[in-house]
Structure 1
Amino acid sequence: MARLALNIRRQREHLNYSQEYVAGRLNISQSGYSKIEQGASSINVERLYQIAEVLEITPKELLEDGKQENAA
């Protein structure tokens, strides 16, 4: 779960989106969204897809640990 939270935060920052902007797109509070990024709140599959859409990335990419990039 910590990897997912980290990937969500990194992608949001990569896009220069504020937590408030993403939370608004998800129709949740900024504090609720912050808990997702902190890994303090679990998310279901539907929410994962919503977050991925807002962050312009696939759910699979959000779940990856980055180790596949170095595999040959």
Structure 2
Amino acid sequence: MQTVGRTIRRFREQQGYSQEAFAQKARLDRSYFGRIERGTQNLALRTLCVIAIALEVHPAELLADVEVTFPPPSGQ
């Protein structure tokens, strides 16, 4: 979650929002939003979409830097 949080922070800062002002715009609790940016709070897909809408970006942009690895199929 830290990668997503860093990406959210980067977009927020590029748009000139303080953490508090952005949390208010997205209608999220400031401390909850701070935990999201620090990567200490699990993030529901719905919340990711709320943040993306407030940032005026596609949700996929917030996930672009996430590396996903899949375990090998069972039985191999």
In the superposition, the TM-score normalised over structure 2's length comes to 0.79
Corresponding residue for residue 30 of structure 1: 30
Corresponding residue for residue 40 of structure 2: 40
Corresponding residue for residue 52 of structure 1: 52
Structure 2 gap ranges (5+): 67-76
How many Å apart are 1:31 and its aligned residue? 1.2
Single out whichever of 23-32 and 48-57 deviates more from structure 2: 23-32
The structure carrying a bigger helix percent of its residues is 1
* Residues 28-64 of structure 1 deviation map (CA, whole Å, 9 limit, x = unaligned): 3211111010001011010000000111111100000
Calculate the aligned-residue CA RMSD, in Å. 1.4
Counterpart Cα distance in 1 of 2:2 and 2:39 = 6
Corresponding residue for residue 20 of structure 1: 20
Structure 1 gap ranges (5+): 67-72
In the superposition, the TM-score normalised over structure 1's length comes to 0.83
Counterpart Cα distance in 2 of 1:61 and 1:27 = 20
Aligned pair count reads 66
Counterpart Cα distance in 1 of 2:62 and 2:2 = 11
1:6 is the counterpart of 2:6: yes
Q: After TM superposition, where is structure 1 displaced by more than 3 Å over at least 4 residues in a row?
A: none
* Residues 10-29 of structure 1 deviation map (CA, whole Å, 9 limit, x = unaligned): 00000001111121123232
Whose radius of gyration is greater, 1 or 2?
A: 2
